[in-house]
Amino acid sequence: MPTPTLMFGRKYQKETNWITLIAMSGFHVGALAAFFYIDAGAILTAVALYIVAGMLGIGMSYHRLLTHRSYNTKKWMEYFLTWCATLALEGGPIFWVATHRIHHQRSDREGDPHTPREGGWWAHAGWIIKGKGLHRDALLLARYAPDLRCDNVHMWLSRWHWTSNVIVGLALLAYGGIPYVLWGIFFRTTLGLHCTWLVNSATHMWGSRRFATRDDSTNNWWVAALSFGEGWHNNHHAHPTSARHGLAWYEIDLNWMGISLLRMFGLAWDIKLARIKSPMSEDVLVPGEEAVA
């Protein structure tokens, strides 16, 4: 009988997830429809929500806080950032965290849910459309996120993750009408999905490699620009628990800046960082931070 991780990957994820396929198709149609309603206020609202969902949510919460525990924060802040992440419409915290932990465990090998070695489109979006098992087998996924499974708030957010967009969508409809909904929900969410998916696909196909990791991860500047720093993916795979992915001065990492801002206000501690060498070959670490190999 195959191990649980081997149940993931293209040859295991064969069933079409029709709910996801129909929903994603609808969001793409809505995103295109937004261009028929050019409205400055609606576009600015979409930009603001893109930052909230993509930076505060996916980057700072789902990825660096919940998945890798790169830093600690107060529980109310953890729950707030996690709620922000649900606005990205990438599933609840247990689904997202478990899938990403499996990806690191089996990166670019059999059992990786989304490796480009099984096709670029598969790594980008095919694994979601054909990944019925990923959504259905909640108990299996929960094995990879026992810390979240024991938390009633994260369990609730995992089950009702879609409600955040309903609430925000109704608020936008009441405030600005159809243009605000099309830009703030449909266009913003569709763009955010593709930018996150690019981390799965593009940064395992194109870019540079600073570290000789066992996978195909690369550093890709334009993916990093679209995803608030998640595109420095080779750095991340070499130092997965580091809260900072942009290791060089020119590798802009807005998610790390956000964590640093939390630290300034006493809302982030036990921050883990990759050990970085200065030109004088001395280790550079900010006091209070923990070095990781």
Domain for residue 250, yes or no? no
In this prediction, residue 139 carries a pLDDT of 64
Domain for residue 233, yes or no? no
In this prediction, residue 286 carries a pLDDT of 41
What whole-number distance in Å separates Cα of residue 172 and Cα of residue 142? 34
Q: What is the residue type of 20?
A: T
Which residues of the chain fall short of a pLDDT of 70?
1-6, 132-139, 276-293
In this prediction, residue 17 carries a pLDDT of 87
In this prediction, residue 187 carries a pLDDT of 98
In this prediction, residue 7 carries a pLDDT of 72
Please tell me whether the overall predicted TM-score, pTM, comes out greater than 0.85 for this model.
yes
Per the structure, the count of domains in the chain is 1
Give buried/exposed letters for 143-171 (b at 16+ CB in 10 A, else e): ebbeebbebeebbebbeebeebbeebbee
DSSP helix/strand/coil, 291: strand
Domain for residue 272, yes or no? no
Domain range for residue 181? 4-209
Domain for residue 227, yes or no? no
Domain for residue 158, yes or no? yes
Domain for residue 226, yes or no? no
Domain for residue 191, yes or no? yes
Residue holding tokens 């929900």? 185
What whole-number distance in Å separates Cα of residue 129 and Cα of residue 134? 10
Q: Of 142, 141, 124, give the one whose Cα is nearest residue 10.
A: 124
Domain for residue 104, yes or no? yes
In this prediction, residue 29 carries a pLDDT of 98
Q: What is the residue type of 237?
A: H
